[in-house]
Structure 1
């Protein structure tokens, strides 16, 4: 039996105890323990809440710190733009219809060349003269032969006329008339032969003049006075018929399929800032098996700045296309091909392969790989890595 039970048994009152200004007796002990447990529970709960708040605020601060450290990147959403299709090609300038001019006769020594490269000539104009001193004497001899033959023919005709008058009187037989007639005919034939010989010599002499087969521009002069030339000497002159020039633009197989005769083109010679308007007049029907390219022939009007043999760049219109249009700074490339960086919903950079098209003054046409609604890194893509977190900012802001 305890002391408390002894007191209760004896009918005595519990002893009162004063602690920190408060008075406790035996009757207050259960209530004080309950209050202590509640207080401890509240303290533990408050500690848990404080710990949660501390951890939550720390995570938010960490996220904020990471957001503050992420690089600010300018992005753009290009959408889709209707672009006038252009094909950029390079090639050489040449005469559209080149006419090589050489010796068509027996040739000889050149005594005169009245034209220079770059001169305009008319059809039939003399380009060079070959010595014809011997041929001229032969022509004079042939002319004299005509006179001799003509005299013989006149004499034969006179003898025939007299014989015909004597036939009626019976002094000349019919056989004599036939003989004189044959003599006359032979003399007339010899006149014609002599005339034909003279005409042949005159034609040969005329061929000693090298003349322009058509009007045009003299591109090359490959002969000098005093040179001996013949039919095997090769072209002495090269002409551009009518002065017409063309560009032989080399175009890829896929691009060539989009071209047709009649489309316009702008041609810019190398070293010049001046462009010339032309028109595609012929598209090559074949493809070079070595480089998979064909030729688009662009007709151009004459201009002194268009020099055959020179190099030029052409921009050929090829219809319209609707596609995303990006600045050149947004399109990157490496050994795997062209690509752009796209910022996803978590502000992470993702690489996306694209296929580029023509390059215009406004940017690069993206034929495939993106729809145009993405957030695409505009600049500094070369300093980013895939998966990196960034702070995107719109280019319009």
Structure 2
């Protein structure tokens, strides 16, 4: 019906309008055909590209190889590299051990002993040489000394009498009242009296020396580490040590060091000691290295001398950092050094930015990294991180580390 109406209308339209309308419809039909052909070409091209990609993927999987390197640096993975150069490295090693007095002096009973009257020092006190540490009751000894002193007076009186008799005899011998034999007898009596005086004096000196040894004196100046005597206690020559004194208050650390590391230490080497439970550090130096190695744990003792300080407690546990010499070598962080069954190695950047494996020998280990004893000159570009995800021969894009 609509078609007939359209035809009916065309009967009354001018011929030039009908021709123009017909031309317009022809152009629209031509344009639609062109669009359809263009879309068809696009679809065909897309199908061809997809087919080629599938063929390439299949060939790569079946051949087991990697796709050919396009050489595009933007597509290669970025890795951080550095040229380590050569650095003077101070090697250190850590050790553990206990703190002790460097020179301990035991103080015991020197004399015959007796009852303790007073104790004048305690553990932790600083004493000087010759100071009285313990006083012993000497009431009996004082009486003996008084008796010996009296004996000297008796002997001296006998000597004075013998000397007077001899002098009178010498005056009478000239007159012939006393014979020469009498003079000789009186002279001998005088000499005997003089000898008795000397004996009495020697006995008194002996008693005084013994009495002086009753008290217990500090043999050296230093820090009292222990005390095992109390007032009222009876002591004698067989009594164990009453005091232990650290001579001069000097301390030391008995650092336990492995057999291999011990060979890298020498006397005079500086060390830092840090007691457990404190943040304080004390400077010292190795003054003696044990001449033997423990057969059980394969360790030796390095004795580190320390000056007196209240923070050093004998018997306490401590850690030590000991200098173990210097070395001029490349220094790398631990992340750059890897190892496997063949040994230690690093990845360096070779020609065309390809990964190259380089075997190295590690040296001193410091807080700043690992020293490379051999295998690197220091001018190479070494991969710092992510070495475990790289393969030898892989192309990468090296970048400098961030500052």
TM-score, normalised to structure 2, is 0.71
Q: Spell out, residue by residue over 1:179-221, the C-alpha distance to the aligned partner (whole angstroms, 9 max, x if none).
A: 1111111111111111111111111111111111121111211
Give yes or no for the alignment of 1:396 onto 2:401.
yes
Give yes or no for the alignment of 1:211 onto 2:217.
yes
Deviation at residue 304 of structure 1 after TM alignment? 0.5
Q: Which moved more, 1:74-83 or 1:233-242?
A: 74-83
- Aligned 1:332-371 pairs, distance under 5 A: 357-358=364-365, 360-365=366-371
Give yes or no for the alignment of 1:242 onto 2:266.
no
Deviation at residue 232 of structure 1 after TM alignment? 1.9
Which of 322, 325, 328 is the aligned partner of 1:322? 328
Whole-angstrom CA distance in 1 between matches of 2:382 and 2:260:
30
- Aligned 1:273-292 pairs, distance under 5 A: 273-292=279-298
Q: Is the 8 A contact 1:107 1:130 kept in 2?
A: yes
Whole-angstrom CA distance in 2 between matches of 1:283 and 1:378:
40
Deviation at residue 274 of structure 1 after TM alignment? 1.4
Q: Is the 8 A contact 1:349 1:390 kept in 2?
A: no
SS in 1 for 2:295: coil
Deviation at residue 103 of structure 1 after TM alignment? 0.7
Whole-angstrom CA distance in 2 between matches of 1:392 and 1:59:
27
Q: Is the 8 A contact 1:340 1:376 kept in 2?
A: no
Unpaired runs of 5+ residues, structure 1, are 1-47, 65-69
Q: Is the 8 A contact 1:349 1:385 kept in 2?
A: no
Whole-angstrom CA distance in 2 between matches of 1:340 and 1:228:
73
Q: Is the 8 A contact 1:113 1:127 kept in 2?
A: yes
Whole-angstrom CA distance in 2 between matches of 1:333 and 1:271:
36
Which of 137, 146, 156 is the aligned partner of 1:140? 146
Give yes or no for the alignment of 1:378 onto 2:378.
no
SS in 1 for 2:149: helix
Q: Structure 2 vs 1, CA of residues 75 and 234 (structure 1 numbering), >3 Å: closer, same or farther? A: farther
Whole-angstrom CA distance in 2 between matches of 1:274 and 1:158:
80
- When the two structures are aligned, how many residues end up with a matched partner? 345
Deviation at residue 124 of structure 1 after TM alignment? 0.5
Deviation at residue 390 of structure 1 after TM alignment? 11
Give yes or no for the alignment of 1:223 onto 2:253.
no
Q: Structure 2 vs 1, CA of residues 49 and 241 (structure 1 numbering), >3 Å: closer, same or farther? A: closer
Whole-angstrom CA distance in 2 between matches of 1:280 and 1:158:
74
Give yes or no for the alignment of 1:107 onto 2:113.
yes
Deviation at residue 53 of structure 1 after TM alignment? 7.2
Which of 155, 160, 165 is the aligned partner of 2:166? 160
Whole-angstrom CA distance in 2 between matches of 1:106 and 1:385:
83
Give yes or no for the alignment of 1:303 onto 2:295.
no
In structure 2, the residue matched to 1:131 is 137
Whole-angstrom CA distance in 2 between matches of 1:394 and 1:352:
22
Give me the CA root mean square deviation: 4.2
Q: Which moved more, 1:52-61 or 1:150-159?
A: 52-61
SS in 1 for 2:99: strand
Q: Structure 2 vs 1, CA of residues 244 and 84 (structure 1 numbering), >3 Å: closer, same or farther? A: same
In structure 1, the residue matched to 2:55 is 55
Q: Is the 8 A contact 1:93 1:246 kept in 2?
A: yes
Deviation at residue 127 of structure 1 after TM alignment? 0.8
